[in-house]
Amino acid sequence: MPAEFIALAEESDLIFELGEWVLRTACRQCKAWQEMGFKPGTIAVNLSAMQFTEKDLKVLLGHILDESKLDPQFLELELTESVSMDDPEKSIAIMVHLRKLGITLSIDDFGTGYSNLSYLKRFPVGRLKIDRSFVRDLVEDPHDLAICRSIIAIAKSLRLEVIAEGVETISQLKMLHAEGCDKIQGYYFSTPLPAQDCTSLLERDISLPMESIRRQSYARALLVVDDEVNILSAIRRTLSRSGYQIFTASHATEAFEILAKHQIGVVLTDHQMPDVLGTELLEKVSHMFPNTVRIMLTGHANLQSVTQAINQGAIYKFLVKPWDNDELEKTVLEAFEKFEATTKLQ
């Protein structure tokens, strides 16, 4: 894996030969694709810490760009956050020289190192890349989602493009799009390919249609979470005449997949489930989707945990089983009206 062989290459100084070969090959390939008639696209190359601080880097890049006849604007160099922050003033000077060549710069693996925002705003970079470690569990981890939201907000405030790495599922894609992420890379679109196979991919001009990326438009969508199939069926029958779009899930992971793909107005959940308590699920929902209105419907709840969840704002209403159909319909309707009033104000 790169984490192993790059470290060995740096220890033995082979990183300079390896890095030069990668830069030269990438520039030649990018130019070849342009000459084949493909739309001019940027090709991104990672720089190791040793390459970045090498005094002859600017000269080397100049030679490679001249040899390949590639316009510098189509070469992007990716610098890790930790490298750029080791000696910020020196990093800024190197970046300025590279930008004068016309090369684009980006900060890779953002969020994994130590960032001083006063320096970040001075870096002449065009993009921040969210590290895959925060993307992997963002669909059901409030902390990872919060970090992704923060990085996107920082990028937007600094007028930088933001790219998410390691996107492998449609749920991750839809969540990132909803949060304002500009671009993604990862196995969901394509695995890494040899140049010949990548050429075939370019020839097919494959893209992800926007209707598959956007969350489905809001239409009074209700999510019911319960591990008992008969309960899910009974609630669906009770509320079917109300015209809601009803989704059901039997466990938390399935629930968060649905929340990632659809704009859910109301979540109705049982408390005692095999994988997670209902109060814990609703607390996570309150952090990740704060506008979604949350209702507990159960016959096996710990009064203390429910009271705590209500006091913390995780639960809007608490109903007991067996439920009264009229009360359930009224409570869900009020919840949708609350959701719509909140989202309208925003």
Query: Cα–Cα–Cα angle for 26, 64, 203, nearest 5°?
Result: 30
Alpha helix segments (H runs only) across 214-266: 229-239, 252-261
Residue 263: domain span: 221-345
- pLDDT tens, position by position, 36-61: 999 878 999 998 888 888 888 989 99
314 and 181, same domain (yes or no):
no
pLDDT given at position 311: 63
How much of the chain is in helix, strand and coil states, percent to nearest 5? 50, 15, 30
Please state the domain count of the chain.
2
Two tokens, residue 167: 């996107």
Q: Are 140 and 253 in contact (CB under 8 A)?
A: yes
Residue 146 maps to which CATH number? 3.20.20.450
46 and 160, same domain (yes or no):
yes
Note the pTM of the prediction, 2 decimals: 0.85
- pLDDT tens, position by position, 208-242: 888 888 877 778 999 999 999 999 999 999 998 88
Residue 236 exposed, middle or buried by CB count within 10 Å (0-12, 13-18, 19+): middle
110 and 164, same domain (yes or no):
yes
- pLDDT tens, position by position, 312-321: 667 888 888 8
Which residue do the tokens 């979470």 mark? 225
Neighbours of 288 (CB within 10 A): 22
Which candidate, 77, 80, 137, 136, places its Cα nearest to that of 112? 80
308 and 236, same domain (yes or no):
yes
Two tokens, residue 101: 């060549």
Mean pLDDT of the region 283-293: 93
Residue 318 maps to which CATH number? 3.40.50.2300
Backbone angles phi and psi of 277, in degrees to 5: -75, 150
